[in-house]
């Protein structure tokens, strides 16, 4: 003989809570299963190469780096550079180019002059001018028809040099050096040139990449 009795309300509440928990559990599982995907980007940044070279030999040979006043290239002036008299004019060629593997063209400027009187005071009695001319042109009085990079009434004037600029191309291909430009330096002895004087001048040229 069996008897049926109504189930307590507490049992129904437990089942309701469990059912609610199951519903919440299913909902959480759906959220965690949401799809996602990503894309990533990267960049590689490399610097180019840049090198200015000079030669006092020729447009094609004798190039090296002269990166400081102490290592300045010695210009070869025409005679009588070591036996000057008033009104004498002497000329010296110098070639510059961008070295092989240089990747950016440049602009060349004459930016500074420094002079020292080793004997006497002739830095005040010597004037100068520098012109950019074709690599195979003569460095003489005809150079004055070309672009002047700078000039001074005396070598003693060591303030900022004013003048033009000249473009220097890269090599084609860049594994080759660029085309050369000749710099013609002209020095003129003044009327008050002192006998026995000796003066050293150093010009600084700077190439700035474009």
| Counted domains in the chain | 1
Spatial distance between the Cα atoms of 90 and 197, rounded to a whole number of angstroms:
16
Distance CA 191, CA 55 (A): 32
CA 167/CA 209 separation, integer angstroms: 10
CB-CB contact of 115 with 201 (8 Å)? yes
Q: How confident is the model at residue 195 (pLDDT cuts 50, 70, 90)?
A: very high
**Tens digits of per-residue pLDDT, 30-72?**
555 678 999 999 999 989 899 999 999 999 999 999 999 999 9
Look up the domain containing 117 and give its range.
Answer: 52-209
pLDDT of residue 1: 47
Q: Strands across the sheet with 89-98, in order? A: 52-55, 89-98, 181-189, 126-133, 147-152
Q: Can you tell me the mean pLDDT for 74-90?
A: 97
Q: Is residue 82 included in any domain, yes or no?
A: yes
Give the pLDDT confidence score for residue 7 in this predicted structure: 53
Question: For the chain, what percent of residues have pLDDT higher than 90?
Answer: 78
Is 132 a domain residue? Answer: yes
Average pLDDT, the chain: 88
Q: Classify residue 37: in a domain, yes or no.
A: no
Pairwise pLDDT comparison (181 vs 25), residue with the higher score? 181
The predicted-structure confidence for 99-116, as pLDDT tens digits, reads as follows 999 999 999 999 999 999
In a domain, 22, yes or no: no
Given a cut of 80, whether residue 23 has pLDDT beyond it is no
Whether 78 is covered by a domain: the verdict is yes
* 10 belongs to a structural domain: no
Does residue 186 lie in a domain region?
A: yes
Q: Taking the model in full, what pTM does it have?
A: 0.80
What CA–CA distance (Å, rounded) separates 136 from 141? 15
Residue 110 domain flag: yes
Number of neighbouring beta carbons within 10 Å of residue 169:
14
Whichever domain contains 163, its CATH number is: 2.60.40
Per-residue pLDDT, 13: 54
* Mean pLDDT within 6-29: 51
Return d(Cα 60, Cα 179) in angstroms, integer. 9
């Amino acid at each position: 003989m069996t008897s049926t009795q109504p189930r307590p309300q507490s049992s129904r509440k437990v089942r309701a809570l469990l059912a609610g928990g199951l519903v919440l559990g299913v909902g959480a599982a759906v959220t965690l299963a949401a799809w996602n995907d990503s894309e990533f980007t990267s960049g590689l940044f490399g610097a180019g190469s840049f090198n200015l070279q000079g030669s006092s030999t020729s447009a094609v040979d004798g190039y090296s780096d002269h990166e400081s006043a102490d290592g300045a290239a010695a210009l070869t002036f025409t005679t009588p550079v070591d036996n000057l008299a008033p009104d004498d004019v002497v000329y010296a060629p110098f070639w510059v180019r961008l070295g092989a593997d240089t990747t950016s063209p440049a602009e060349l400027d004459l930016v500074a002059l420094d002079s020292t009187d080793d004997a006497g005071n002739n830095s005040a009695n010597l004037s100068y001018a520098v012109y950019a001319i074709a690599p195979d042109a003569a460095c003489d009085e005809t150079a004055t028809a070309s672009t002047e990079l700078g000039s001074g009434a005396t070598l003693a004037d060591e303030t900022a040099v004013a003048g033009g600029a000249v473009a220097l191309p890269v090599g084609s291909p860049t594994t080759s050096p660029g085309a050369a430009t000749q710099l013609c330096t002209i020095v003129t002895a003044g009327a008050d040139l002192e006998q026995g004087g000796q003066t050293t001048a150093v010009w600084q040229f700077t190439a700035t990449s474009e």
